[in-house]
Chains A and B, each alone.
Chain A
Amino acid sequence: MKILRIFILIAIAVAISVTSFWMGQQSYSWFPSQATTAAKLVDDLFCFLVTLSSFIFFGVIGALLYSIVFSRANRLDTTDGPAIEGNTTVEIVWTVIPVVLIIWIAAYSYDVYRQMGILSPMQVVHLHHPLETEPAYAAGMNEKPDSAEEIGVVAKQWAWSFHYPGRDVTSTELHLPVDRRIRLLMQSEDVIHGFFVPDFRLKQDIIPKRTINFEFTPIRVGKYRLNDSQFSGTYFAAMQADVYVESADVYNQWLDQAANREPVPASNQAASEHIEQPDKLIQSGWKVHPPAPPPVVNHPS
């Protein structure tokens, strides 16, 4: 009987390890595509966390289930279990193991975060001077200065617009050259918004009266979706934009084309919904904050 139990316990331990490892490998498939260098780092970190977490989770749950199955009281049995009040060794062990795990997780996370280098150092220094616009010269940690492509991002209720200072082009689509360091200078005209592209694994709030320098390197050509990630009022859900990562040639071609077009006010979903409410089952009739005037752009989507 005793041997049987030990055998069961070992079998459970092996099963848990195998499952945890398998879960970790599965975790890659839960994400959208990896379109930046950061995405790869984040996914590897997540795989590690899932493996470790699964082990902890199934370990604890396994022990609980084991007791539930094997330590049930007989219906008529009113006696008590063994009066074990604690065991110092065991308690020390289960304090030390989490300490070690936490240090491991924190160190790995720190390392990944450092490699991502998403906030340029200037942003950090000037954080407490919101009224100053910062010179954007410092580059990301692993990049030579000045190699980054600078793009202005303006968020307002409820529209995005992107400004390419070199060509003086404004657009409601974000076009990015692939395999180049990008530096976004992000500003908001009204409330807090958030820049979030799931395939990039990147997110940053845009605080009014500040310029936020945000850096990353796209590595995969494709079309992605930019979401507003910080709740910004009534039409928050509709505040999205398309993001195109393209080869240098296509990118420059697009810039050339856009530069030749006359700026026009872009249409956007919030504005059209505000004028004509779609049919709903329940209308509250609550007065809402009107959308800001649409951005004037060379390239409306």
Chain B
Amino acid sequence: MTGISTRDMSSFDEAQNKKSQPDWRTYFSFSTNHKVIGIQYLVLSFIFFVFGGLLAMVIRGELITPESDLVDRSLFNGLFTMHGTVMIFLWTIPALVGLANYLVPLMIGARDMAFPLLNAIAFWLIPVTGILMLSGFLLPSGTAQAGWWSYPPVSLQNPTGHFINGEFIWLLGVVVSGVSSIMGAVNIVTTILRMRAPGMTPFRTPIFVWTVLSAQLLQLYCLPALTAAGILLLFDLSFGTAFVNPSTGGDPIIYQHLFWFYSHPAVYVMALPVFGIFSEIIPAFARKPLFGYKGVAISSISIAALGTLVWAHHMFTSGTPDWMRMMFMFSTMCVAIPTGIKVFAWTATVWNGKLRLETPMLFALGAVVMFVFAGITGVMLASVPIDIHVSNTYFVVGHFHYVIFCTVTMGIFAGIYFWFPKMTGRMYSESWGKLHFWLTFIAANLTFFPMHLVGLQGMVRRISSYDPQYTGWNIVASLGGFLLGVSTIPFILNMVASWTVGKQAPANPWRATGLEWTTSSPPPPENFETIPVVTSTPYGYGKSEPLTVSET
């Protein structure tokens, strides 16, 4: 690959950049270009992240003292419900769909997604979801307050008696977001399976594409269960049917099964593409091919497959019989095996490499470190006797913020930094990026580590007041949380400033391999003038094989 480095390192002129950089107004229009849609997804979901984060700031503000003294209890319940939903359905999932939208066609050598119009519609349903969910704050009933699980029968209690209440529009929001996700998934799966450039055999496809495929298959075949659960709940709530409402003869446990049949796989929908991001960044900054590429590719699919068989580990303490607890304990633990293969592969890639710790690499390595921790607490949770003690305590909250914030969100940051030059044609500021990393890394550990300790001692989650013996660690977590909020500021400033006045980026600033780097920065609207013909694996670091025919 050394051949391309010198050619692509030469920065190219402003005029070229202007030409392929779409006018800012396009981003507010109904565009069907996958690159525009990708950026629309990323920017919009980041706005939701800031909103969800601000809700978390109020939660941490309330929890800095043991008494319930900042917000009233119903508002607190609304806050964590909306925080969880916004972060999952409006930040992580759409942000990753955005990255996939931008990158997948470029990585597989296609000119656009398979169904550009469907793509645009799927995107525009996201703001609809957001408006639906957040409008709960304006209703007399308030927002949904039953947690993001929305378990019946609590979620069916409707104190205002109004037909349109917070829970109702929350459910509508979930269903609309489900429709959007299914549209997106049909599109992405079709694109990946049918539109790869000639020569891009399955085992020449970048890992990011593999992971996106695995994640989107999960969306296709698990998400409908959530839609079904939402419909059942909506009927019980609004029409008095007897599906999941025990007082009319329904069974609330059915809801739990349907909900987790999707919402467990949902965590891999979020985690898998991030594993893909790591698998792209780490080789590029270690200057070595991804170690055990095939194993990593296959383990992505295995994680998705296994991930559909573990859902009841969220229900160990519900009315779950012994055999079910044991079966799901074992299946859950099995997920550690393919995941371990990935972690070891990244470690081996770094081993003996020529490391360069630029911002994307810092975020990727930091996130991997925290993921190993999070995965291990996950295995502890999978052990039924341990879970019986820590389920529904802050230990779980700690576990999942280590995955969902410290791994997934930080992984998304890594990806944004890595492909920022490609997307915008400009370089971000390295020193601000590093500042962002160190603040985030330190603050995230300050915030989420103490949660494990209070969880082991028995502090229950979803409470606005707690016993005084937990105060100390909660103060640390709250202060860490505020610092985490502050840590986002350098990121926002960096992005905005670099996008508008940043240095011109060359086509391939990282000397990375992969088809997306053979295009200009930003790529022309049609991506490739002629469809490339692929001749080797995507991680040719240290080798002198050409990636495409034109390079020979």
Contacts and interface: CB of A to CB of B under 8 A. Distances in A.
A91 B391 CA distance: 34
B294 interface: yes
Nearest to B162: A287
B495 interface: no
Contacts of A230: 151, 317, 392
A77 interface: yes
B365 A229 contact: no
**What bracket does the count of chain B residues touching chain A fall in?**
35 or more
B287 A79 contact: yes
Nearest to B9: A78
A31 to B, nearest CB: 6
Contacts of B356: 72-73
Given A95-B337, A98-B337, A237-B68, 4 more contacts: A63-B351, A84-B288, A123-B321, A204-B388
Interface of A: 30-32, 38, 41-42, 45-46, 49, 53, 56-57, 60-61, 63-64, 67-68, 71-73, 77-87, 90-91, 94-95, 98-99, 102, 105-106, 109-110, 112-113, 116, 118-119, 123-124, 127, 130, 190-192, 194, 196, 198-199, 201-205, 207-210, 212, 225, 227-238, 273, 277-284, 286-290
B179 to A, nearest CB: 28
B379 interface: yes
Contacts of A49: 379-380, 383, 386
B29 interface: no
Contact of B465 (A194, A201, A238): A238
Given A81-B286, A190-B153, A86 B294 contact: yes
Contacts of A225: 458, 467
A105 B384 CA distance: 11
A233 B157 contact: yes
Contacts of B376: 53, 56-57
A82 B154 CA distance: 59
Given A46-B380, A109-B385, A192 B341 contact: no
Interface in B334-382: 334, 336-337, 340-341, 343-344, 347-348, 350-357, 365, 368-369, 372-373, 376, 379-380
B199 to A, nearest CB: 19
Interface of B: 1-2, 5, 67-75, 77-78, 140-142, 145-147, 151, 153-154, 157, 159-160, 246-247, 251-253, 286-295, 317-319, 321-323, 325-326, 329-330, 333-334, 336-337, 340-341, 343-344, 347-348, 350-357, 365, 368-369, 372-373, 376, 379-380, 383-386, 388-389, 391-393, 453, 456-458, 460, 462-467, 511, 537, 539-543
Contact of A45 (B69, B246, B385): B385
Contacts of B288: 80-84
B154 A57 contact: no
Contact of B247 (A56, A82, A87, A208): A208
Nearest to A109: B383
21 contacts: A45-B386, A49-B379, A53-B376, A56-B372, A57-B372, A67-B355, A72-B356, A78-B5, A80-B542, A81-B541, A82-B352, A82-B542, A85-B291, A85-B292, A199-B458, A203-B389, A207-B253, A231-B392, A237-B463, A237-B466, A284-B142
Nearest to A207: B319
Contacts of B351: 63, 67, 71
A83 B289 CA distance: 6
B272 to A, nearest CB: 18
A118 B320 CA distance: 12
Given A53-B380, A191-B154, A203-B317, A72 B355 contact: yes
Contacts of A46: 380, 386
A284 B71 contact: yes
B369 to A, nearest CB: 6
A189 to B, nearest CB: 10
A64 B368 contact: yes
A86 B373 CA distance: 25
Nearest to A210: B319
Contact of A234 (B77, B253, B294, B353): B77
A94 B293 contact: no
Contacts of A90: 348
B344 A284 contact: no
A283 B117 CA distance: 45
Contact of A229 (B322, B385, B460): B460
B293 A85 contact: yes
A196 B458 contact: yes
Contacts of A287: 140-142, 159-160
Nearest to B323: A124
Nearest to A227: B460
B466 A113 contact: no
A5 B543 CA distance: 27
Nearest to B146: A231
A199 to B, nearest CB: 8
Contacts of B373: 57
A63 B340 CA distance: 14
B388 A284 contact: no
A231 B347 contact: no
Contacts of A236: 73, 77, 462-463
Nearest to B461: A231
The residue in B318, B467, B537 that gathers the most chain A C-beta atoms within 10 A of its C-beta is B318
Given A81-B286, A98-B337, A229 B391 contact: yes
Contact of B457 (A31, A99, A202, A233): A31
B293 A86 contact: yes
B203 to A, nearest CB: 12
A64 B347 contact: yes
A284 B347 contact: no
A112 B385 contact: yes
A118 B141 CA distance: 40
Contact of B341 (A95, A106, A116, A229): A95
A282 B464 CA distance: 13
A231 B5 CA distance: 57
Q: Which of A53, A60, A112, A273 has the most CB of B within 10 A?
A: A60
